[in-house]
């Protein structure tokens, strides 16, 4: 079912936020970090398992080797896509957006704690490669695995934010539903246009980015994953032309 990943993600945020309201004070920073690292390792291996089928050639029940065309395409897409992303500084734009929104929330009137919780949680669960890549995979191939993994992460993250900031964190489910639902819908509309090799390539490249997200979660920031997103466009173009 296309869109199931976003439905589960939104539900996980609401449930996690509700539990967070009941558990004031959170889990403690050390426990929070331990849980995030463990989930990072899971994310890492999910990304790896999704990337390998796009690189390996299987004949019958035996592994025949590595597909050089697909491997070359991924290398070129990641290299030049990352260069484009670094030139555009996509990660920097997202970081500046977060700083700007938080500054406006601090200056705003009304329930500043509610606004701070909403903005902080929304930036954390909306902005990132998992939201974009997972929604594309869900829309193109009906595979919600990445969004299911993100749902577990968001469940814990929003639970922590809700225990600190209150019910404002729960309302981060709204922008998640709008953003991921829109990307999934667009990907679903484009799916008939894309050939199966293009869909497979996008899924494999997306899985590599998810692997990088897992590394960042488990071992601390190592990759500027948002700057790698243009690789998805280049990978699709390479596959459409050469494969």
> Could you tell me the residue ranges of all domains in the chain?
4-242
User: 50-64, 157-171, 176-190, 207-221: lowest mean pLDDT where?
Assistant: 50-64
155-167 pLDDT, tens digit each: 988 988 888 888 8
Mean residue pLDDT of the chain comes to: 84
Would you say residue 121 has pLDDT above 80?
yes
Would you say residue 186 has pLDDT above 70?
yes
Q: Is 57 helix (H, G, I), strand (E, B) or coil?
A: strand
- Tell me what the mean pLDDT of segment 124-139 comes to: 86
Q: How many angstroms separate the CA atoms of 221 and 217, rounded?
A: 7
Higher pLDDT, 127 or 231: 231
What pLDDT, on the 0 to 100 scale, is given for residue 36? Answer: 79
**Could you give the angle at the alpha carbon of 20 between the alpha carbons of 121 and 130, nearest 5°?**
40
Q: Rounded to two decimals, what is the model's pTM?
A: 0.80
Q: Is 181 helix (H, G, I), strand (E, B) or coil?
A: helix
Residues near 140 by beta carbon (within 8 Å), at least 6 away in sequence: 187, 188, 190, 191, 194, 199, 202, 203
Would you say residue 99 has pLDDT above 70?
yes
35-88 pLDDT, tens digit each: 778 888 988 888 888 888 767 665 666 555 567 778 888 899 999 999 999 999
Do residues 159 and 16 make contact, with C-beta atoms less than 8 angstroms apart? yes
């Amino acid at each position: 079912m296309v869109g199931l990943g976003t439905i589960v993600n939104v539900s996980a945020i609401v449930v996690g936020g509700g539990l967070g309201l009941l558990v004031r004070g959170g889990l403690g920073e050390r426990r929070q970090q331990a849980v995030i690292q463990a989930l990072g390792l899971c994310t890492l291996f999910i990304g790896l398992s999704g990337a390998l089928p796009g690189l390996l050639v299987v004949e019958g029940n035996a592994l025949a080797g590595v597909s050089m065309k697909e491997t070359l395409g991924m290398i070129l897409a990641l290299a030049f896509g990352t260069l484009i992303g670094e030139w555009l500084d996509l990660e920097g734009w997202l970081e500046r957006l977060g700083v700007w929104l938080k500054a406006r929330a601090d200056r705003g009137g009304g329930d500043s704690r509610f606004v701070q919780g909403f903005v902080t949680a929304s930036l954390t669960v909306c902005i990132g490669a998992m939201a974009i890549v997972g929604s594309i995979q869900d829309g193109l191939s009906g595979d919600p695995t990445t969004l299911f993994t993100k749902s577990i992460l968001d469940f814990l993250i929003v639970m922590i934010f809700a225990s600190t900031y209150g019910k404002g964190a729960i309302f981060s489910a709204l922008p998640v539903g709008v953003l991921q639902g829109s990307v999934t819908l667009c990907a679903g509309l484009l799916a008939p246009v894309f050939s199966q090799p293009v869909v497979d390539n996008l899924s494999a490249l997306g899985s590599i980015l998810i692997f990088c997200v897992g590394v960042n979660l488990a071992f601390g920031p190592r990759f500027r994953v948002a700057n790698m997103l243009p690789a998805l466009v280049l990978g699709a173009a390479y596959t459409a032309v050469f494969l």
